[in-house]
């Protein structure tokens, strides 16, 4: 039986998982489930990076031990993976003995001439856990976290990455290590051609605050978290003990990662493996980020979305469907409550769910022969190409266009409900509809497995009408300001109530900077209404909100500079809110 190994990246556990992590988990699960349907022996690995400095800092902020924090949060990640119905075979933590032994073994296995020690001064971003060159910064800030790196000077071990520049270039350009999508491959190739520099692979025990895996033979140093974390893909296979798991499943068939860690996986990781005499992975799929109302999801912005709340209220397959269909597989995509409801109602409840209900009711008591769909469409053709290219959004669209939408059209055009139950034409039409829905369900098994299996079960043996629809329509009260998915955190809406907590004078005396408490975060807004006071409750239009213009029509709010000062939104007058005609002052709200 063919072996197939697929992995997620292992996230830091400085905080609980959010919807962005969920995207990667379900994308990887689609790959695993698809290859199981092909009859392959699949191994699906996930886990957590317990050794990052960010974890140490988070524990210090909370006043708890690092061990307790990483254990609690790692359990949360595993819990989310299970709630998302991801079919993992193994979950590894980098604090486990099997990983510690394996990481130290990889260090020792690297060629002696590839590892050397030297004093170094550089710009270090704790968020990325990496050093940056001045030329790689954007306006002096980390391009990923938009924060100023720390200047760090110490003696560390380095890996001679420069030795592997030509080898890496050939590896990736030839697709021996395939990077999907193509434009990510091109980015990596351009980075390599720009010249590779050796990178630090250890940190002083002092700077690592005593947390992490010691360097073999040097207790003053901790293995750099990325050198440590990347090895999880082989330590989970017990490579250091020549376990048959490793010989059976390595090299990995697909490694799924986010765009922010491409360099580590596509450049550092293959070079480390080459130095240790281990084959590189076969393929890396790089996905984008999930955004919230156009903003990158982060705890500091107060826009973290908990996937568990959506799962508990609307079901796991509704969440999986949205992530796989609505988030572009290759680029960033937005997760919003409003769009979630729209997709749920129109595509799951009204389209797929309603169609299955109609067909089971019309075909009730019919027995359709050949209940199992053919597996041959999986082996070749457009659908297989889409999955192989990790185009999950297009694959879902293909299923609906191939099987679901034509069945709806066929049903409406032929009106079988007008024919007698025993009419051969009615039976022919319904047999065709049932066959199409079976095919749709079979193809949907990797994406929305619970729902797909329910559909397949509907059409086994004698067909029975569904007692309950697959997806109950979400009823959103007309004109309600808040989505039914709101968690009580007003930062999830675009026009929200805020309370002025601080007012700052500026050089321009015609305006002031107002620090407004909105939910759990503070928004900085420039405004010319100097009569506002601390404690006033006001309406804040956040980026993306539409307000009425004094000139007529509506305008969309964006982050902007007002008289040279950045404003993260706008305080609204009655006119701008459509509540009256007064535009001379900001509207105050009563205390209740």
| Listed residues 449, 477, 505: the one ending a domain | 477
Tell me, yes or no, whether 374 and 498 share the same domain: no
Is residue 153 in a domain? no
Report yes or no on 545 lying in a domain: yes
Q: How far apart are CA 458 and CA 59, in angstroms?
A: 50
Instruction: Say if residue 349 is in the same domain as residue 405.
Output: yes
**C-alpha–C-alpha distance, residues 53 and 224, integer Å:** 10
Task: Determine which helix (DSSP H) or strand (DSSP E) holds 541, and give its type and residue range.
Answer: strand 537-541
Tens of pLDDT, residue by residue over 185-227, are: 999 999 999 999 999 999 999 989 999 999 999 999 999 999 9
Indicate if 563 belongs to the active site: no
The separation between CA 569 and the C-alpha centre of its own chain, rounded to angstroms, equals 27
556 and 425 in a common domain? no
* Number of domains into which the chain is organized: 2
The full DSSP string for 240-281 is GGT-HHHHHHPSPSEEEEEGGGHHIIIIIHHHHHHHTT-PPP
Q: Which of 125, 458, 527, 572 is catalytic?
A: 125
The verdict on residue 517 lying in a domain is: yes
**Residue 137 belongs to some domain of the structure:** no
Q: Is 299 a catalytic residue?
A: yes
Q: How many CB atoms lie under 10 A from the CB of residue 505? A: 10
Catalytic residue among 76, 178, 282, 296: 296
What pLDDT sits at residue 576? Answer: 86
Which pLDDT does position 143 carry in this prediction?
A: 72
Half-sphere exposure of 302 (CA within 13 A, CB side): 15
Domain shared by 471 and 418, yes or no: yes
Kindly name the residue from 142, 390, 433, 527 that is annotated as catalytic: 142
Residue 198 included in any domain: no
Domain match, 471 and 571 both: no
Q: Do residues 577 and 539 both lie within one domain?
A: yes
Active site annotation includes 145: yes
- Is residue 18 annotated as a catalytic residue, yes or no? yes
| β-pair type (495-505, 537-541) | antiparallel
Which mean pLDDT values do the consecutive 10-residue runs of the chain (592 residues) have? 97 93 98 96 98 92 94 97 98 98 98 94 71 75 74 89 98 98 98 96 93 96 95 98 97 98 98 98 97 75 87 97 97 92 94 95 78 58 95 97 95 93 92 94 97 93 87 62 36 73 85 86 88 92 86 82 80 85 84 52
- The pLDDT of residue 366 is 79
Residue in 76, 299, 402, 583 annotated catalytic:
299
Question: Same domain, yes or no, for 467 and 500?
Answer: no
In this structure, is residue 503 part of a structural domain?
A: yes
Same structural domain for residues 344 and 434? yes
Work out the number of other CB atoms within 10 angstroms of the CB of residue 507: 8
CATH number of the domain enclosing 448: 1.10.730.10
pLDDT at 350: 93
Q: State which of 477, 509, 541 marks the end of a domain.
A: 477
Residues 500 and 457 in one domain: no
Q: Among candidates 239, 273, 207, 213, which has minimal Cα distance to 51?
A: 213
Of 76, 82, 145, 259, which is the active-site residue? 145
Based on the residue annotation, tell me whether 135 is a catalytic residue of this protein. no
Q: Which of 128, 458, 527, 572 is catalytic?
A: 128
18, 265, 287, 443: which one is catalytic?
A: 18
Residue finishing a domain among 477, 509, 537: 477
Would 357 be classed as within a structural domain?
A: yes
The CATH number of residue 549's host domain is: 2.40.50.140
d(CA 187, CA 91): 31
Q: Are residues 473 and 351 in the same domain?
A: yes
Q: What is the tens place of the pLDDT at every residue in 523-539?
A: 899 998 899 999 999 99
Q: Are residues 460 and 529 in the same domain?
A: no
Domain containing 392 equals 336-477
Its sign, for the CA torsion 307, 308, 314, 318, is positive
Q: Is 221 helix (H, G, I), strand (E, B) or coil?
A: strand
Query: CA–CA separation, 15 vs 163, rounded Å?
Result: 37
Question: Which residue in 127, 122, 132 sits closest to 154, CA to CA?
Answer: 122
pLDDT value of residue 566: 81
Does 205 fall in a domain? no
Query: Any catalytic annotation for residue 125?
Result: yes
Residues 435 and 521 reside in one and the same domain:
no
Check whether the bond before 251 is cis (ω within 30° of 0). yes
Cis peptide before 181 (omega within 30 of 0): yes
**pLDDT digits over 432-478, tens only?**
999 999 999 999 999 999 999 999 999 888 898 888 889 988 875 33
């Amino acid at each position: 039986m063919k072996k197939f190994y697929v992995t997620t990246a292992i996230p830091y556990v400085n905080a609980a998982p959010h919807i962005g992590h969920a995207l990667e988990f379900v994308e990887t699960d689609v790959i695993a489930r698809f290859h199981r349907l092909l009859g392959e022996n699949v191994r699906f690995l996930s886990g957590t990076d317990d050794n990052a400095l960010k974890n140490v800092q988070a524990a210090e902020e909370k006043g708890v031990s690092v061990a307790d924090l990483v254990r609690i949060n790692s359990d949360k990640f595993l819990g989310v993976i299970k709630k998302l119905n991801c079919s993992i075979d193994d979950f590894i933590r980098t604090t486990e003995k099997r990983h510690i032994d394996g990481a130290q073994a990889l260090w020792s296995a690297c060629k002696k001439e590839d590892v050397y020690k030297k004093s170094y001064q550089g710009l270090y971003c704790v968020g990325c856990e990496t050093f940056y060159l001045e030329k790689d910064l954007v306006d002096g800030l980390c391009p990923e976290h938009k924060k100023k790196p720390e200047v760090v000077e110490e003696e560390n071990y380095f890996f001679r990455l420069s030795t592997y520049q030509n080898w890496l270039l050939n590896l990736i350009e030839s697709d021996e290590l395939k990077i999907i999508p193509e434009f990510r491959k091109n980015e990596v190739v351009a980075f390599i051609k720009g010249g590779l520099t050796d990178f630090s692979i250890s940190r002083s025990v002092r700077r690592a605050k005593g947390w992490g895996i010691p360097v073999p033979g040097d207790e003053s140093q901790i293995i750099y978290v990325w050198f440590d974390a990347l090895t999880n893909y082989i330590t989970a296979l017990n490579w250091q003990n020549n376990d048959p798991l490793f010989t059976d499943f390595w090299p990995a068939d697909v490694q799924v990662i986010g765009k922010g860690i491409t360099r580590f996986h596509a450049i550092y990781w293959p070079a480390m493996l080459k130095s240790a005499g281990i084959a590189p992975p076969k393929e890396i799929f790089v996905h984008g980020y999930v955004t919230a109302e156009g903003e990158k999801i982060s705890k500091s912005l107060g826009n973290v979305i908990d996937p568990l709340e959506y799962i508990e209220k609307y079901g796991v397959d509704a969440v999986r469907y949205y992530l796989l269909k609505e988030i572009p597989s290759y680029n960033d995509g937005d997760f919003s409550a409003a769009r979630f409801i729209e997709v749920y109602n129109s595509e799951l409840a009204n389209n797929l769910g309603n169609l299955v209900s109609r067909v089971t009711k019309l075909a009730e008591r019919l027995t359709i022969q050949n209940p199992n769909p053919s597996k041959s469409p999986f082996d070749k053709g457009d659908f297989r190409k889409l999955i192989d290219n990790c185009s999950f959004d297009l694959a879902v669209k293909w299923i609906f266009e191939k099987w679901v939408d034509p069945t709806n059209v066929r049903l409406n055009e032929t009106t079988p409900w007008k024919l007698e139950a025993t009419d051969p034409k009615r039976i022919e039409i319904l047999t065709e509809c049932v066959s199409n829905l079976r095919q749709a369900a079979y193809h949907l098994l990797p994406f929305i497995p619970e729902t797909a299996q329910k559909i397949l079960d509907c059409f086994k043996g004698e067909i029975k009408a569904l007692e309950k629809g697959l997806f109950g329509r979400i009823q959103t009260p007309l004109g309600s300001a808040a989505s039914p998915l709101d968690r009580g955190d007003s930062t999830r809406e675009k026009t929200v109530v805020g309370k002025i907590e601080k007012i700052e004078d500026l050089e321009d005396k015609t305006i002031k900077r107002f620090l407004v408490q909105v939910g759990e975060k503070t928004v900085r807004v420039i405004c010319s209404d100097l009569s506002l006071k601390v404690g006033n409750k006001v309406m804040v239009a956040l980026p993306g909100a539409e307000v009425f213009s004094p000139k007529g029509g509506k305008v969309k709010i964006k982050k902007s500079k007002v008289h040279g000062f950045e404003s993260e939104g706008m305080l609204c007058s009655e006119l701008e809110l459509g509540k009256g005609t007064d535009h001379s002052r900001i509207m105050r709200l009563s205390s209740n």
